[in-house]
Structure 1
Amino acid sequence: MESHLPILLIVLPLLAAPLCVLIGNRKVAYIVALTVSWCVFAMAVALVGTVHADGPLRYNIGNWAPPYGIEYVVDELSGFVMLFVSALGAIVLTYAPHSIEKEIPRSKHYLFYATYLLCLTGLLGMCVTGDLFNVFVFLEISSLSTYALISLGRSRRAPLAAFQYLILGSVGATFILIGIGLVYQMTGTLNMADIATRLPIDHGPRTVLVAFAFLTIGLFIKMAVFPVHTWLPNAYTYAPSVVTCFIAATATKVSVYALIRIVFSLFTREFAFEVLPLDTALMVMALVGIFAASTAAIYQDNVKRLLAYSSIAQIGYMLLGISMANQAGLAAGIVHMFNHALIKGGLFMVVGCFALRIGSVQLTDWRGAGRTMPWTSFAWAVGGLALIGVPFTAGFISKWMLLTAAFDSHHWSVAVLMLLSSLLALVYVWRVVETLYFSEPSESAKQAVEAPLGMLLPMYTVILATLVFGVWTVYSADFAAGAASLLLGGKQ
């Protein structure tokens, strides 16, 4: 059974999704979805344990040996991403019932669970597949289900936000598909390990450059890199709170993973950062995105939109690590994927609690809610400290590693700009803290009561994890360093 875990990780949620539709009962569908999500997490833990003990795990679908058959590969990097995606998928679904009862019509609950499982399938599939075309297939499974999840929001603007994401997402998917087609034209294979040995990097045809451009720009759109980020603020703002929790914590991180895999495993560091000036381009895009998005976040009154712009800025930090093109920078970018998934997942869970009890995500309606919803408000304060990067939080570990990498690479100005950007995060986090604790209570806040225990427990599991991984870094930082070493060693 253990040898089949890579395929079971994908097949189980994929089959459970139509089962939820066939059941048609929201309570039974929830039990099925919740059970499957936790089983998937258990499988991910087992796979990561195997990889840690025995090295990368390879699974040939149908016993067809690559490159003729499709291969699934679980190594340190894919296992790392797969583990936190499955963990957050299970935790968010545990948190979900009260929130979706408030924000999604009952008649659509079973459809929500089915679509959620499809999205989880797509994200996990992107992590484990060793086939380049499969990356596109799973990317589209997750994207199409995300469009549907966003459109479930009660606001009339939710379908419009989903449509806007659909248009830009389709452009990104088309770019990626063109890039894959060009790679296949040059190599005659879709197996990523095989592509890495056949791709004519040194003095190859211009087609290599064109393929690389299409793949990276397509993934930039999926990642919501500034300035191709315009789909993200509305998608996060108008989606149901549970959907925002899940996609904010996972979707963009998996796209970052795909970018790292394509740049370092397929096209190699030498091509991307020595033949091409990708390091300079990424660094400039990252810094401009960090400051522009953080500044926009300061002026938002809708807390979901505030966190959405914050997410765009945090993607900039991940790109910053990648742009340094050394082990320290790449490890910092990878570990920030994990840490930001925890931080932003936890903060959006906080927003979901306020949305349930106050009925609004407008900052003016949250005035004085620290008195009537103390546990939820305290969770925001802790998560906000992690987002700023205060010591003993996960956010501090990410930024410390990035600063260290910047100093090692002699990018002194980048280090200074990173420190200044943290002050912008302090401003928009403090705006919410000040509203919660130091303002006269609004009418909505006066009538609010604390969020139910079924939401507080999963929320605090994630929020407290940001403190745990701010002190205990054996898992996060060590795994990220191992993954970075593997990538820079040129191994698949």
Structure 2
Amino acid sequence: MLSMSSQFPILVAIIPLMAAPVCALLRGRNAPWAFTTIASAFAFYVSLQLLLTVASSGPISYELGGWAPPWGIEYVVDLLSGFLLVLISGISTGVLLFARESVVKEIPTSQLGLFFAAYLLALTGMLGICITGDAFNVFVFLEIMSLSSYALIAMGERTDKRALTAAFQYLIIGTVGATFYLIGVGLIYMMTGTLNIADIAARFPEIEGTRPILAAAGFIVIGLAIKLALFPFHVWLPNSYTYAPSIITAFFAGTATKVGVYLLIRFIFTVFGVNYSFTGLELTDILLPLAVLGFLSMSAVAIYQTNIKRLLAYSSVAQLGYMILGLALASESGLTASIVHIFNHAIVKTGLFLSVGCMFYVVGSNYLKDLDGIGRRMPITTFGFVLGGLGLIGVPLTPGFISKWYLVVAALEKGSFIGYGLVALLMVSSLLAVIYIWRVVEVAYFRDPPDGAEKEEAPMSLLVPTWLFILGSFYFGIETSFSVGMAKAAAAFLMGGA
């Protein structure tokens, strides 16, 4: 008889998937939330166990239905996928602790069952993408994540009718990205006769010079660039983050785009291989300029935003530029920096968006003009936001500093004008981050509160999970053995395997 632990690879995705229809039937204010939180916490526990097993014993392969790969669907957990599983399920569980009070203000009680069911489906999609070893199965989970995401964003219409427009825009652009990916996978299947990622990688050297494979790589890279909101394919993201319910913005900011980056890393380093990706396809010449333009231009655009959620949304696009920059450097140090920043940015940005969610809970607005003097009205919440902002800037002792340090090291390894130029541009981007974070600080602390405004903090049920992420970000800015250790090991595995 098989032990439960041997079934963890399937349980991590199947539990939230099976919990979703049950959650849709639940009624009331607390039952759907509690059920969703339990399912997410179980996924987090299973993810931790999988990562510990992989770290001690090596990658795990799980055959579905008794069909051996490559004939059957295979789930694979290695260091990178295990790392992402822990990150996604951990952020999901932390955000759900925030959700019990905040979601009632933004979602009608009669729709809470459906809301949390869609949340569980989005979680299922993200976890499934990270664990599946089948290229078409990736598309299936990608669609599960995307379709539920459209619904979750649209549910923000209670506080802003523009949520429907944002969801529709995301649907159109997201469908284009998914279609591009599917076309690429179809071309690869035509040339290899397999959908198993490991099997494709083994056969790839025989066909890498053919035109169908060149077209397939182009379709997949562009499709994933759209999905992860890489500049200039980012147009769907600002509105989606701005008008979605607070917990959805926090959840997606910490997870959804990171899944897209994960897929890009997986295909470039596992399927295509380093030599073909950066010599045959010359991806550095494509991705590096887009990454630099992204973190410079989007940081500049963030400065001029009047909505704090939109400001942080453009900041997220800029931070994605850092992740792609590390990937584009085509080195173990660069890949390490990219993976480290996936983790660090997820923790920091989730804490920042939860801080904004606290402000919205009390003030009822995300516009800077309505947040005058918020530092005196909500001192604990605002101080948390400022600390999170330091992480975006990259101040020492914050995770942002760790990420940028490894990016600088990877850039300097280039040892040329390009390397030193990248370091200078990273410094410029950090200065731009100082400006847009300072805009919030100026509004919060250097403007008087509106007449009659009283000092009022968000409930403890909102403050505790917010500060959990804020303090957690500082912990990972000081104690880096987990984040950097896992990133280095995953990067070495991917580069060695390639």
- TM-score where L is the length of structure 1: 0.98
Distance 1:280 1:400 in 2: 23
- Residue identity in the other structure for 1:78: S
Q: Is the 8 A contact 1:186 1:199 kept in 2?
A: no
Q: 1:203 to 1:107 in 2, by over 3 A?
A: closer
Which one of the candidate residues 82, 85, 106 is aligned to 1:79?
82
1:487 to 473, 494, 498: 494
**Native 8 Å contact 1:225 1:315 kept in 2:** yes
2:2 is aligned with 1:2? no
> 1:31 & 1:392 partners in 2: Cα distance?
35
Describe the shift of the 1:158–1:448 C-alpha distance in structure 2 as closer, same or farther (beyond 3 A).
Answer: farther
Secondary structure at 2:30 match in 1: helix
Partner residue, 1:442: 450
Residue 364 of structure 1 contacts residue 442 of structure 1 at CA under 8 Å; is this kept in 2? no
Alignment of 1:270-419 (within 5 A): 270-410=275-415, 411-419=419-427
Residues of 2 paired with 1:79 and 1:344: CA distance?
21
Aligned counterparts of 1:141 and 1:397: Cα–Cα separation in 2: 34
1:147 corresponds to: 150
Work out the CA distance in 2 between the residues paired with 1:249 and 1:101: 22
Is structure 2 residue 471 aligned with structure 1 residue 464? yes
CA contact (8 A) 1:294 1:424 kept: yes
How far off is 1:23 after superposition?
2.5
Matched residue type, 1:330: L
| 1:439 match: secondary structure | coil
The residue that corresponds to 1:138 in the other structure is: 141
Quick check: 2:25–2:113 contact (8 Å CA) kept in 1? Answer: no
Q: Displacement of 1:200 after TM fit?
A: 4.1
Q: Which amino acid aligns with 1:182?
A: L
Distance 1:122 1:276 in 2: 29
Alpha-carbon deviation of 1:26?
Answer: 3.8
* 1:157 counterpart (149, 158, 162): 162
Q: Secondary structure at the match of 2:365?
A: coil
Q: Give the structure 1 partner of residue 181 of structure 2.
A: 176
Match of 2:430 among 410, 422, 441: 422
2:33–2:99 contact (8 Å) kept in structure 1 = no
Contact 1:304 1:361 in 2 (8 A): yes
AA matched with 1:215: I
Give per-residue Cα distances to partners, 1:310-358, cap 9 Å, x unaligned: 0000000000000000000000001100000001111000010000001
Q: CA–CA distance in 1 between the matches of 2:206 and 2:324?
A: 23
Q: 1:481 to 1:108 in 2, by over 3 A?
A: same
Q: Deviations over 1:379-419 (max 9, x none)?
A: 01100000000000000000000001100122110111111
AA paired with 1:307? L
Matched-pair contact (CA < 8 Å) for 2:298–2:315: yes
Report the aligned-residue RMSD.
Answer: 1.1
The amino acid across from 2:448 in the alignment is: E
Distance 1:90 1:349 in 2: 13
Aligned residues of 1:357 and 1:448 also touching (Cα < 8 A): no
Q: Which runs of 5+ in 2 are unaligned?
A: none
Write the letter of the residue equivalent to 1:432. V
2:212 alignment partner in structure 1? 207
The letter of the residue matching 1:421 is S
Instruction: State the Cα distance separating 1:433 from its structure 2 match.
Output: 1.1
Q: Cα distance, 1:166 vs. partner?
A: 0.1
Corresponding residue SS for 1:325? coil
Tell me the amino acid that sits aligned with residue 103 of structure 1: E
**Code of the aligned partner of 2:101:** H
Q: How does 1:177-196 map to 2 (within 5 A)?
A: 177-196=182-201
Contact 2:29 2:104 in 1 (8 A): no
AA paired with 2:480?
T
Amino acid at match of 1:415: V
Quick check: 1:119 aligned with 2:122? yes
Q: Give the CA deviation at 1:24.
A: 3.4
Secondary structure at the residue paired with 2:61? Answer: strand
Letter in 1 for 2:421: S
The count of residues paired between Structure 1 and Structure 2 equals: 490
Q: Which SS does the other structure have where 1:53 is aligned? A: helix
Q: Which secondary structure state, in structure 2, belongs to the residue aligned with residue 383 of structure 1?
A: helix
Distance 1:273 1:443, change over 3 A: farther
What is the CA distance between 1:372 and its match in structure 2?
A: 1.7
What amino acid does structure 1 have at the position aligned with 2:446?
Answer: F
For residue 472 of structure 1, what is the amino acid of its counterpart? E
List gaps (5 residues or longer) in structure 1. none
